[in-house]
Amino acid sequence: MSVFFVVEKFVSINGEGQHAGELAVFIRLRGCNLACSYCDTRWACSYEAPAEQMTETEIIDYVKSTGINRVTLTGGEPLKARDIKDLLRAFAAEPELKVEIETNGSVNIVPFAAIPNAPAFTLDYKLAGSGMEDKMDLSNFAFLQPKDTVKFVCSDVSELDKVCELVDTYGLAMKCTVLISPVFGRIDPADMVNYLIEHKRNDIRLQLQLHKFIWDPDKRGV
């Protein structure tokens, strides 16, 4: 058995992504290799953050105990967790569970996508405002599938030009769902909508982080 450091586990709705608004069990693993300027889970990014040690069996037993069959693995950066393949293989052996993993775009997903019944990936691309754009692994774009999502979090409306460039260059909208969202409180979403209208981008979808409107934006466990 492998041991994973879980900083949060809870049931809520998916606040974003293809399954926004749907119930999911969240498993948040500690530690991240990036330090984005707008990170809203910085407390979970330290590899020293307080955490519950759980085996893959204990994690799956917890998920099953909730009665919810959709699972979101998040962080931090879950793909940097030690022995994460063991956890993904364990989930893959439970076909009734629908697993999505949120990853920051700096980690090559190929070894994980090759697992039979692999999870869906919500793959971030960190734009310039994050301070982490130079860490992005662009080779990941070649391996995305319809169940996957690419997510661009924009610090400024001008970053949408780069979003469109990447979507067009890599044919992202023909491979998977493409989402844009504003850094919470920093951009008026209406300006992003106006950009999409002006540029006739039927292939890009705006999302807002639902959990930050339902609960206090800084509330944990939701």
- How many helices and strands in the chain, by DSSP H and E? 7, 9
The Cα–Cα gap between 41 and 102 comes to: 13
- Residue pLDDT, tens place only, 14-43: 988 889 899 999 999 999 999 999 998 999
The dihedral sign for the CA sequence 23, 151, 211, 84: positive
- Is residue 140 a known part of a binding site? no
Residue 202 one-letter amino acid: N
Is 74 labeled as ligand-binding? Answer: yes
The answer on pLDDT for 163 being more than 80 is yes
**Per-residue pLDDT tens over the stretch 99-113:** 999 999 999 999 999
32 annotated among ligand-binding-site residues: yes
170 annotated to a ligand binding site: no
Q: Which CATH superfamily is domain 3-214 in?
A: Aldolase class I (3.20.20.70)
Q: CB burial class (10 A; 0-12, 13-18, 19+) of residue 148?
A: buried
| pLDDT tens-digit readout, 135-161 | 999 999 999 999 999 999 999 999 999
CA distance 72 to 98: 9
Give the contacts of 169 (CB within 8 A, at least 6 positions apart): none
- Transcribe 16-70 into DSSP letters: SSTTTTSEEEEEEE---S---TT-S-GGGTSTTS--EEEEHHHHHHHHHHHT--E
Segment holding 113, helix H or strand E: helix 110-113
Q: Is the pLDDT of residue 221 over 80?
A: no
117 marked ligand binding residue: no
* 3 state SS of 134: helix
**Tokens in use for 221?**
């466990």
15 in a known ligand binding site: yes
In the predicted structure, residue 215 carries a pLDDT above the cut 90: no
**Which residue type sits at 129?**
G
36 labeled binding residue: yes
> What pLDDT is stored for residue 222 in this prediction?
64
pTM for this predicted structure: 0.93
Token representation of residue 94: 């439970």
Has 66 been labeled as part of a binding site?
no
30 is in an annotated binding site: no
13 assigned to a ligand binding site: yes
Name the one residue in this structure whose structure tokens are 């085996």: 55
Of 178 and 213, the one with more pLDDT? 178
Tokens of 124: 């971030």
pLDDT confidence tier of residue 186, bands split at 50, 70 and 90: confident
Q: What pLDDT is recorded for position 209?
A: 80
Residue 28 marked ligand-binding: yes
Please indicate if the annotation marks 125 as binding a ligand: no
C-beta neighbour count of 142 within 10 angstroms: 10
